[in-house]
Amino acid sequence: QVRLVESGGGVVQNGGSLRLSCLASGSISDINAMGWYRQAPGKEREVVAAAFKGGASEYADSVKGRFTISRNNAKDAVYLQMNSLTPEDTAIYYCKLISWNNSYWGQGTQVTVSS
């Protein structure tokens, strides 16, 4: 069974920074992508950033230039450096792992940006 554990969420002031971490464990084979999603109250879950096998990455327009996703393949980990945070970034952030035959979610970590 694959397990994803996120950490690094918290409360930060407008304009501040946070770094989220997600560590995968279990029987993992051939990871195609790891990424971050978020869900704000009353809104649908949306993709924030994704890092693909081979090194490519993609970002939601709302976070381009502010957030940076990175992976440590040796540790099956993915990170999200979030800078210039605004109250609109307040949400539960979820890690997702996509392997060749399945996908897995973490339990989520709360990010709250105060104005």
Q: What is the pLDDT of residues 9-27, one digit of tens each?
A: 999 999 999 999 999 999 8
pLDDT (0 to 100) of residue 94? 98
Of the candidates 52, 64, 60, the one whose C-alpha atom is nearest the C-alpha of residue 99 is 52
Of the candidates 81, 75, 46, 72, the one whose C-alpha atom is nearest the C-alpha of residue 61 is 46
What span, in angstroms and rounded, lies between the C-alpha atoms of 16 and 11? 10
Could you tell me the pLDDT band of residue 101, with boundaries at 50, 70 and 90? confident
pLDDT digits (tens, 9 = 90+) for 34-81: 999 999 999 999 999 999 998 999 999 999 999 999 999 888 999 999
